[in-house]
Amino acid sequence: MSIAIDLSFETFVRDFWATAIELRGQASSTEAHQQWALASIRKPVIDEPRGDRIYAEIRALSGAYEMPMAGR
């Protein structure tokens, strides 16, 4: 369950960063907006063992669920 929470949080962070980058590049953004956006962006931490664990868990779930056919 921890991996699912981790992935959800990672997605939120990436979306936040994308929004900050977009805001910084907008012609209509103020100097304060641009400074805030730039201060909010950080270099991501790459954790290869974590990525391997997530991939292994996803592979283990392969074929564990089959969608029922509609109308049957």
Which DSSP symbol is given to 41? -
23-40 b/e (C-beta count within 10 Å ≥ 16 → b): bbeeeeeeeeeeeebeee
Task: Give which of 23, 51, 54 is closest to 37, Cα–Cα.
Answer: 23
pTM recorded for the entire structure: 0.57
Q: Compute the average pLDDT of residues 16-24.
A: 90
pLDDT reading at 1 higher than 70 = no
Whether 72 shows a pLDDT value over 70: the answer reads no
Please report, as a single letter, which amino acid is at residue 64. Answer: A
